[in-house]
Structure 1
Amino acid sequence: MNQTITVFRGDGIGPEITEAVLEILNAAGAPLNYEVFDVGAAMFEKTGEFIPEAGLKSFEKNRILLKAPITTPIGKGFRSLNVTLRLKYDLWANIRPARTNPALDNRFDNVDVVTVRENTEDLYIGEEEEIDENTVHAIKRITRKASERIIRKAFEYAMENGRKKVTCVHKANILKKSDGMFLRIFEETAKEYPQIEADSMIVDAACMNLVMHPERFDVMVMPNLYGDIVSDLTSGLIGGLGLLPSCNLGDDHAMYEAVHGSAPDIAGKNIANPTALLLSACMMLDDIDQKECADTIRHALDQVFEEGKVLTPDLGGQSTTTQFVEEIIDHLNKK
């Protein structure tokens, strides 16, 4: 029986990569039905809503969302729609695996790092207070509840996926109360998982080590802001955000998304790379017990990368999105 999921097509290159991914999913025989909605800046100009109410109700019903990039106006008082969705549906765990594909041109050939990011608090609550015209205070909120559940999620992820180490990333040397509590909870929780190696690292040192010795890291867990920065850094180690999958998990809902931008400069040119959204869709298939289908898609994608004949411009090729998708489907048909 097919499972129905909600799909937000996004804007910019969003509609193009969404159609590409749905075409590949259908070609792979993914047991899915789709409720598809237009969202984003273009939708706002037409209706006054970035996300239609029907789209939110669909997500609330289906509980699974596949989301393409959504443009949020910068500096105009609009809150990030990604942050809004994470908070509205308490999508508290952001998981972003970054793994080198040896067939692509990368600086490193040994990156295999998973960033587990707390997704609902820290500076991302967006609470700021203007003290006077020259001074603004921003609130960094860290709670025991949110810290405990994301840290435990990191250890459980390590256990379930055959990982050997979890590293806590923090700034407890300066933020002794907020990050200090996060680090203490990590140390307490680590004792419950003696089979998993546990260590900690100050965030600036972690960033330096990631670009010098990425093989030292396995699973990394951290508060929201550091997670945003570090996960983007890990994407740079493997070739960019266009290759990085991402999922946002809550107790009742899950959102799978490409975390790169909507790239309006190349929208409509048929050269966008759908890989990040496709790999996010594979994470979704894993989570709904369709791992065999997900692995089939990943294998076909890897074959296309390995052959290197049909790649989009960001991957060093000259092919269109359409040609890239057709090549993946061709490999699916050869399985």
Structure 2
Amino acid sequence: MKAVLIPGDGIGPEIAKSVENITEAMKLDIEWITYQAGAEYATTTKEVFEPGLVDAIKEYKWALKGPTATPIGTGFRSVNVALRQQFATYANVRPIRSFKGIDSKYENIDLVMIRENTEDLYKGIEYMINDNMANGIKLITREASEKICRYAFEYAKMNNRHKVTAIHKANIMKYTDGLFLEAFRDVARDYPNIEAQEVIVDNMCMQLVLRPETFDVLVAPNLYGDIVSDLCAGLIGGLGFAPSGNIGDEYRIYEAVHGSAPDIAGQNIANPSALLLAFALMLEAMGKLEEANQLRDALAAVVEEGKIVTPDIGGTATTTEFTQAIIEKL
């Protein structure tokens, strides 16, 4: 089986190498086809993607992506947004689970953030009215809202979860978020055995900090989902352990959601956990559930022991040493 590997910017190539080493160690029947994308690639080529990348994803259907940089306030388009729109990966799925051995204020967190991935303000429809005034359009459709809400309820059903919470601001955004909420209520009627809950986004942020254990599956439009998913990552110690899957009807693109960390790039001290956990999600979707669980368990065991871990989680190990420790646990 062939799949596309996009190392990305900064620490991306180092953590992508970790995935390649573990693929080899586990003797997985996956052949990685590597393509470049991101700000560093664009600096020399003026292109966001290496030629052939889009065609390769179209052919192989699977991709794993490292972090890519998006300079603030420039015309450079986000690689993430471009890929999501290109391949209609409408569902962004972010499992948030606690790891023993990670410094966090919470224990036993087990949430799933499901975010609409193709519209809202991230559609990128914005323009200058004059030199001192800009406008952005918040595009919400019934079709996309129903699709993401149904995905959330189906996910809950298939994974034995019992509640789906819609995140919104329909008290203010009466047409756009109101439409999203209406779609959520319509879909919820088809799942009478799953509790449907509605929470305003600002209250949601507070409730997640106060009592995260009361939530299960969360579903939200694009912007709120982006913000709240990072808040959820904070509950387990940060983005270093936050994998993500971008799911469409035909294509799946998995990624580490953290930044490219240019300050430590090339030093072989980056934590590859988020990309490895994204790889585990990919293996699970490929039907390799046993291998996915083996990888997660090995990673969790190394982290819990705390002896051979990277500096960001209190250790002195290199990326290579951390990866080798996981391989030995496997």
TM bin (shorter chain): over 0.9
Determine the C-alpha separation between the residues in 2 that align with 1:239 and 1:25.
26
Give the conservation status (yes or no) of the 8 Å contact 1:29–1:293: no
Match of 2:304 in 1: 306
**What residue is the counterpart of 1:111 in the other structure?**
109
Gaps of 5+ in 1: none
CA contact (8 A) 1:104 1:315 kept: yes
What is the CA deviation profile of residues 305-330 of structure 1, one whole-angstrom value per residue up to 9, with x for unaligned ones? 12110111111111111110110011
Residue of structure 2 in register with 1:329 after alignment: 327
Instruction: Give the letter aligned to residue 146 of structure 1.
Output: A
Amino acid at match of 2:48: F
Question: How many residue pairs align between the two structures?
Answer: 330
Percent identity of equivalent pairs: 52
Candidates 209, 212, 217, aligned match of 1:211: 209
Partner residue in 2 for 1:151: 149
Q: Give the aligned partner of residue 278 of structure 1.
A: 276
Q: Deviations over 1:180-234 (max 9, x none)?
A: 1111111111111111111110000000010111001100001000000000000
Partner of 2:63: 65
1:264-315 Cα offsets, whole Å, 9 max, x none, are 1000111000000000000000101001111011111111012110111111
CA pair 48-133 structure 1, distance change in 2 beyond 3 A: closer
What TM-score comes out, normalization by structure 1 length?
A: 0.96
Q: Does residue 227 of the first structure (1) align with residue 216 of the second (2)?
A: no
Contact 1:245/1:277 (8 A) holds in 2: yes
The equivalent of 1:246 in structure 2 is 244
Counterpart AA for 1:137 = N
> Given residue 169 of structure 2, which amino acid in structure 1 is its aligned partner?
K
Distance 1:313 1:227 in 2: 29
Which residues in structure 2 correspond to 1:4-15 (within 5 Å)?
4-15=2-13
Structure 2: which amino acid aligns with 1:106?
A: S
Partner of 2:136: 138
> Hey, what does 2:191 align to over in structure 1?
193
C-alpha distance after superposition, 1:214-266 (max 9, x if no partner): 00110000100000000000001101111001000111111000011111100
Q: Which consecutive aligned stretches of 4+ in structure 1 deviate over 3 angstroms post-superposition?
A: none
| Residue identity opposite 1:125 in structure 2 | K
Measure the CA separation in 2 of the matches of 1:110 and 1:204. 24
Counterpart residue identity of residue 157, structure 1: Y
Cα displacement (A) at 1:38 = 2.5
Measure the CA separation in 2 of the matches of 1:106 and 1:30.
Answer: 33
| Structure 2, unpaired ranges of 5+ | none
CA contact (8 A) 2:37 2:79 kept: no
Q: Cα gap change, 1:52/1:289 in structure 2, threshold over 3 Å: closer, same or farther?
A: same
Amino acid at match of 2:243: P
| 1:83 alignment partner, SS class | helix
The structure 2 residue matched to 1:33, chosen from 31, 34, 38, is 31
Which residue is equivalent to 1:295?
293
Change (3 A) 1:137 1:47: closer
Distance 1:259 1:14 in 2: 11
Superposition CA RMSD, Å: 1.0
- Is the CA contact 1:93–1:117 (under 8 Å) kept in the aligned structure 2? yes
- Measure, in 1, the Cα distance between the counterparts of 2:173 and 2:71: 31
Question: Do residues 172 (structure 1) and 170 (structure 2) align?
Answer: yes
> Residue 40 of structure 1: CA displacement?
2.1
> Separation in 2 of the partners of 1:272 and 1:279?
15
